[in-house]
Amino acid sequence: MGLIVFIGFSILLTGLWYVQIVSQRKYETSLKVQSFRTVRIPAARGRVLDRNGEVLADNQPRYNINLFLEDIRPQFLYEYTNSVKKEFVAKHGRTPKSTERWELERQARYRVGSNLVWQVSSAVLPQPLVLNPNPFERHYREQRAIPLSLVTDLTPQQIALFMEKASHLPGIELEVEPFRFYPHGSLAAHVLGYTRKVQNKENEDLSKEDEEVRFNYPTPVDVGVAGLESGFNEDLEGKYGAKAILVNNIGYRQSEETWIEPSPGRNLVLTLDLEIQKAAERAIAMSGPETRGAAVVLNVRNGDVLAMASAPSYDLNMFVRPNDYSKSDWDRLQDTVLTPQWNRAAQGTYHPGSTFKIVIALAAFEAGVMDLNYEVYNPGYFLIGSRKIEDNNAPKGNWAFMEAFKRSANTYFIDVGLKAGAERIIEMGDRFNLGEKTGVVQPSLESKGYFPEVGQRTKADGSRWKDGDTANLCIGQGEITVTPLQMALVTAAVANGGTLLRPRLVAQLEEQGHNSLPEVLPHQYRERELNVRAQHLEWIRKAMLDDVEDQKVGTGKAAYIPGMGISGKTGTAQIRTPKGIDHVVWFVSFAPYDDPKYAVVVTVEGHRISGGGVAAPKAKEIYKTIQKIEQDRLRNIAVH
């Protein structure tokens, strides 16, 4: 008898040992799976600042009204026992069967839920909301532990109404949710880009090693989908945290515990100067809100992009609060002519027109086929083979370099260009990295334009290269397209004495909240030395100065500001559109002449317009702001 008992207890102990010691892990896992729901805690997204700390992209609190189901369980039960069930009994004369009970309970829940929704929404909204039964039931079944969102994005007035009239309701709570906010709306939209709320992020890139947590409830996070928001998304978004909700056997929330604190993203400090950026956008918009164009402002000494504007632009907040914008706003975004989402400054490729004469002149000087005194007669046209290129820019007569440049005489530059030869022109363009991306933003957001390769004997379409093609190239037409950004770099290289720059937009990353030293992103601003004679660059710079300062014949005279030493070159090129011939006009410039610091390039698309008439005044507008900034700086230095 003792033996049987002994064996019996041994069996129990062995069983317990197996369950509690050997299989402990397995049962602990089951316990976690059934009683914890993991929820993502989004990290505070880094802000985007201009070079002076002005905020370009910010986070704003958004107030939402949520309903916590676990708080209204007593109401569910009360509604069921006191009305739904009684009504059933009154109607059918019997108590509900267990199979019917489920449906009746659902009805009771919906009544309680819709009543609450009605009370809340009639307090804060002009029209009360009607709770949609199916999503409500789905939320009840699948996400009982997390709150149900009722009204989102409350205005301050609505918050006040809510606090006064509805905050006492059971299960109803006001939640603060960080939302992306672009205080300047459309400013630098193409550079900044925007974010979208994405829910299933970790399911998309589950392959990433650091994504070890899979959430039951992945709270939506802001993810950059365009511009720098996208390119620097990882730095900006930080690392989200995780919290665990302990749920009871019927899935209601019991308690919460933060497992991993989120670590905030880093602020992005740009090289942009808010004032100059504003000026650039204002300048383009001078000729109307639908003006298509771009402006780039560079620091010619270090490649900092001070402004990069593309018009038309769009309000970045559209993507954050889509419902605040009308259908016509959204339609405009898709307009095939305006193409507001297209960054003309870095993605727009155009023939450079006469602005390319800067490169032609440099190639000719370097080739030794001309000097300052070399003269060419302009009969009003240039004959190449049987083709006649009109030259209405300069009057008939003999012109030397300086005069020909500021009058933008086509004959002159075709002559010296042909003398230098296509080979040397292409080689010079190659030194300026034409036809290649600048690397200022992520490659997908930039075009490389088109420029023939060194040694290339054919045109882009494969046909034979003829002298006429060289002549075309001499006036910036034909086998060449450039972006405004590329032209800014060409201008900057001439201005700074022959250094082709590598532009940058992001200066540093700084931690949010605490005063640790920011991480200055390494920037090798010298892309390449042009290796040309300083004298030749100086001749071109002088010619560009004259182009603006000669108030009689200078094509760029409209950009003139006394004492600023603005030096520039205008250009006009034809672009073929489905609707016929259209124009793109240019003004490329630097200033001050004596000690160049800024390069300003303006490009405008339009019909029957000229670089001198349209683009130069816009550059002047930008220089006015630069002048003011410089004067303020000098004043500050003087004060301190």
Partner 1 sequence: MYEATLTQKDSRIDWLLLGAIAGLMLVGLAFIYSASTAIDGNSRFWIKQAIFYCGGIGLAVGICFIPYETISRFATVGYWLSIALLIWVMFFGVTVFGAKRWIDLGFFRFQPSEFAKIAMIFMQASFLSRSPEELRDPKLFMKALGLILLPFVLILKEPDLGSALVLFPIGFGIMLVAGVPMKFLWRFIGGVSLLVVLLLVDILFAPPSWQIKLEEYQRHRLLVYFGQDFAPRNASEADRQRLKQLQKDKSYNVEQALISVGSGGLTGKGWRQGTQNALGYLPRAVAHNDFIFSVIAEEKGFLGSVMVIGLYSVLIFSGIKIAYQARDRLGKLLAVGVVTMLFSHIFINIGMNIRLMPVTGIPLPLLSYGGSSVLCSLIAIGVLQNVYIYRRSH
CB of 236 to partner 1, least distance (A): 38
Long-range contacts of 333-342 (CB under 8 A, 24+ apart): 337/292, 338/290, 338/292, 338/312, 340/312, 340/313, 340/314, 341/190, 341/226, 341/314, 342/190, 342/310
* Segment near partner 1 (CB under 8 A); pick from 25-33, 171-179, 357-365, 503-511: 25-33
CB of 32 to partner 1, least distance (A): 9
Q: Does 78 bind partner 1 (CB under 8 A)?
A: no
Q: Does 149 bind partner 1 (CB under 8 A)?
A: no
Q: Please tell me the number of Cα atoms within 13 Å of 140 on its side-chain side.
A: 19
Pick the closest to residue 491 from 607, 615, 375 (CA basis).
Answer: 615
Q: Do the Cβ atoms of 246 and 39 come closer than 8 Å?
A: no
Q: How many Cβ atoms from other residues are within 10 Å of residue 161's Cβ? A: 17
Measured in degrees and rounded to the nearest 5, phi and psi for residue 225 equal -120, 0
Q: Does 5 bind partner 1 (CB under 8 A)?
A: yes
253-292: contacts with partner 1 (CB under 8 A): 254
Q: Does 631 bind partner 1 (CB under 8 A)?
A: no
> How many chain residues bind partner 1 (CB under 8 A)?
30
188-247: contacts with partner 1 (CB under 8 A): 246-247
Q: Which pair of tokens denotes residue 275? A: 């004032």
Q: Does 9 bind partner 1 (CB under 8 A)?
A: yes
Sign, CA dihedral 628-634-638-640, equals positive
- Rounded Cα gap, residues 12 and 25, in angstroms: 20
Pick the closest to residue 295 from 620, 618, 602 (CA basis).
Answer: 602
* Segment near partner 1 (CB under 8 A); pick from 30-38, 186-194, 511-519, 575-583: 30-38
Question: How far does CA 333 lie from the centroid of its chain?
Answer: 15
Q: Does 60 bind partner 1 (CB under 8 A)?
A: no
* Segment near partner 1 (CB under 8 A); pick from 16-24, 119-127, 417-425, 587-595: 16-24
Measured in degrees and rounded to the nearest 5, phi and psi for residue 78 equal -60, -45
Query: Smaller CB distance to partner 1: residue 23 or 155?
Result: 23
Q: Does 30 bind partner 1 (CB under 8 A)?
A: yes
CA angle 337, 343, 347 (to 5 degrees): 95
Query: Smaller CB distance to partner 1: residue 60 or 254?
Result: 254
- Rounded Cα gap, residues 191 and 274, in angstroms: 12
For the chain, how many helices (H) and strands (E)?
23, 23
CB of 5 to partner 1, least distance (A): 5
Q: Does 35 bind partner 1 (CB under 8 A)?
A: yes
Query: Smaller CB distance to partner 1: residue 53 or 74?
Result: 74
Q: Does 74 bind partner 1 (CB under 8 A)?
A: no
From 250, 517, 637, 638, residue interacting with partner 1 (rule: CB under 8 A): 250
Q: Does 26 bind partner 1 (CB under 8 A)?
A: yes
Q: Does 97 bind partner 1 (CB under 8 A)?
A: no
Q: Does 249 bind partner 1 (CB under 8 A)?
A: yes
Q: Does 95 bind partner 1 (CB under 8 A)?
A: no
Burial 111-126 (b: 16+ CB within 10 A, else e): bbbbebbeebbebbee
592: preceding bond cis by omega (within 30 degrees):
yes
Q: Does 520 bind partner 1 (CB under 8 A)?
A: no
Q: Does 16 bind partner 1 (CB under 8 A)?
A: yes
CB of 34 to partner 1, least distance (A): 6
Query: Smaller CB distance to partner 1: residue 102 or 330?
Result: 102
CB of 142 to partner 1, least distance (A): 17
Largest CA distance in the chain: 132
Query: Smaller CB distance to partner 1: residue 16 or 372?
Result: 16
Q: Does 8 bind partner 1 (CB under 8 A)?
A: yes
Give me the residues that bind partner 1 (CB under 8 A), please.
1-2, 5, 8-9, 11-13, 15-21, 23-24, 26-28, 30-31, 34-35, 246-250, 254
